[in-house]
Structure 1
Amino acid sequence: MTARFSVKHAALHLILIALGIVWIYPFVWIVSSSLKTNTEFIVSGFKLLPDKAQWANYARAWETGHFSTYFGNSVIITCSTVAIVIVMCALTGYALGRVRFPGYKLFVLAITATMFIPKGYTIIPIYQIIKHLGLLNTMPGIILAESSGAHVLFILLYMTYFQNLPKELEEASEMDGGGFLRTFFRVMLPLAKPIVATTAIMQFIWTWNSFFVPLIFSLNKPELRTLAVGMYAFAGEHTIDWSGMAAGASIAVVPVIVVFIVFQRFFIEGISGSVKG
């Protein structure tokens, strides 16, 4: 029985290792391609190791490809969007989790249904709002466009989490003279750190990799491009700088990996905590 279990255990590990290799191969391949010449990139196929590492590709992406500017834009847009989404979704989730009103269930059902509406269908009203605010082709305009939407998943996570916190916390804060916002920011939000971390990680990844919205709102101002949109810089009219694009992609993916590795514990706690609730 033990030997049989060991064989099954070893087989399972081998299958998982094989799946892991298949999963990570595209990332390894893109990093390897970033160190090749364009000619070697085209003729090498699935070969990973370059004949000679071309570190100049990264310098070309950073300077000639303007990735230094795009990187800064991505940091500003992503961090600002994450902050707005955290506060907006936490306040909404707190209100839905602690207050009951007529039509409550219908309202929750309605906002849940909006989760299935593709963002492409809402881009026209978002564009019109940003235009009427006079924020087209500006950094604040891109940030508002990125942070717009219901963000239903995060709202539901906060709502479920706040529903399970004891009401005595709010009552104690009210006895100390705390109002709604003071109770929220000083008592309730600090207790929701796992959900805040989950929201921050997921929104960071989505915004950092966002292409559609930054493309539309920076069409007439290339200096506002993010890293994802900046990949266009490597595509000329007749040629494409494949190795430079691979170097740019490698630069763009590093922050996402670092953020997830650093905060993955909080991400798991947030998901497991909301599921238990």
Structure 2
Amino acid sequence: MQVSRPERLANYAILMAFAVFALYPLIGIVTAALQPDTQAPGGLPNFQQAWDIGRFGSYLRASALVSIFVVGVSTVLSILAGFAFGTMRFRGSEALFYVMLVGIMVPAEAIVVPLFFDLRAIGLTDTFWALALPQVAQSVAFGTFWLRAFFRSSNRSIIEAARLDGASTWRILWQVLVPLARPALVTLVVLTFMWTWNEFLIPLVMVPTNESLRTAPLGLGFFSGQYTQGFALLAAGAVIVALPVVVLYLFLQRHFIAGMLEGAVRD
């Protein structure tokens, strides 16, 4: 089916309009961050002032540690669970899979308060584990759903050929299927990292007094509350917090888009 030139131009115009609509707020924030802030003390650039005043170095380090842990653990667990639900049949597998999907359907706002009291009862609040474990649970729920679809649609002839060659189930998973799932895994890693990095509610509730465990979005919230006179500094702080996610996406965008398209084709 050939697309006429006017139709193609109309499609480009619509896409450009959506791109401008999506990028305009981002460009506005970056432009504001580069403007001189007359309300801020000293003559340092906005980014350096925001970094020093807002203590973003400590917040970014905490966010990086939590994000790396959550992404690593949840990805491994999602691979194992997705492989089990996608390729194996055992009693109660369907019911157990739908129970895991509750982690996707139930919002964090509905469970964060009882979860706080549960973690406080066992002495985990104001600790790294109070930040990481709830987000691992949420990420594994989505990761299992995501990778189950891939493993269910994987080429059975490859698996059977590996079995005929004497490969064990463990070897089939890690040496045959996981390399083939690289686009899906990259997409999962980017999404999990983005969700974990941008999480605000769980750090706010789970670490009420431990300032060293404040993550970057939470630190930006406190920064905006303590320093409200200079909008340019707030914009600079927002750029600093968002930059790691943007860099990761730009670095992995080709694999991310391939994984999303592959998932759409499989669906």
State the TM-score, normalized to the length of structure 2.
Answer: 0.84
1:79-98 → structure 2 map (5 Å cutoff)? 79-98=68-87
Q: Structure 1: 5+ residue runs without aligned partners?
A: 42-53
User: CA separation in 1, counterparts of 2:187 and 2:88?
Assistant: 23
Matched residue type, 1:156: F
Encode CA deviations 1:93-122: one digit per residue, 9 max, x unaligned: 111011112343344344335522111112
1:183-194 → structure 2 map (5 Å cutoff)? 183-194=172-183
Task: Quote the residue 1:263 is aligned against.
Answer: 252
1:126-275 → structure 2 map (5 Å cutoff)? 126-149=115-138, 151-165=140-154, 166=156, 167-168=159-160, 171-172=163-164, 175-176=166-167, 178=168, 180-236=169-225, 239-275=228-264
Change (3 A) 1:55 1:31: farther
Percent identity of the aligned residues? Answer: 27
Aligned CA RMSD, in angstroms, stands at 2.8
Matched residue type, 2:236: A
Task: Quote the residue 1:21 is aligned against.
Answer: 20
Matched residue type, 2:23: I
User: CA separation in 2, counterparts of 1:32 and 1:103?
Assistant: 55
Change (3 A) 1:169 1:120: farther
Change (3 A) 1:103 1:147: closer
Matched residue type, 1:171: R
Higher relative contact order (CA 8 A, sep 6+): 2
Matched residue type, 1:99: M
User: CA separation in 2, counterparts of 1:55 and 1:237?
Assistant: 19
Matched residue type, 1:194: P
The farther-off stretch of 188-197 and 16-25 is: 188-197
User: CA separation in 1, counterparts of 2:139 and 2:192?
Assistant: 13
Q: Structure 2: 5+ residue runs without aligned partners?
A: none
Deviation at 1:274, TM superposition (A): 3.3
Encode CA deviations 1:123-178: one digit per residue, 9 max, x unaligned: 134324433443321223312232123643321221121123323156257x35x4
Matched residue type, 2:259: G
Change (3 A) 1:138 1:153: closer
Task: Quote the residue 2:113 is aligned against.
Answer: 124
User: CA separation in 2, counterparts of 1:7 and 1:186?
Assistant: 49
The structure richer in helix per residue is 2
Secondary structure of residue in 2 paired with 1:149: helix
Change (3 A) 1:218 1:103: closer
On the 8 A contact 1:70/1:227 being kept in 2, the answer is yes
Aligned length: 260
User: CA separation in 2, counterparts of 1:172 and 1:273?
Assistant: 28
The farther-off stretch of 140-149 and 77-86 is: 140-149
Secondary structure of residue in 1 paired with 2:4: helix
User: CA separation in 1, counterparts of 2:263 and 2:5?
Assistant: 35
Encode CA deviations 1:237-260: one digit per residue, 9 max, x unaligned: 684442211101111112211211
The farther-off stretch of 228-237 and 243-252 is: 228-237
Matched residue type, 1:168: E
On the 8 A contact 2:62/2:214 being kept in 1, the answer is yes
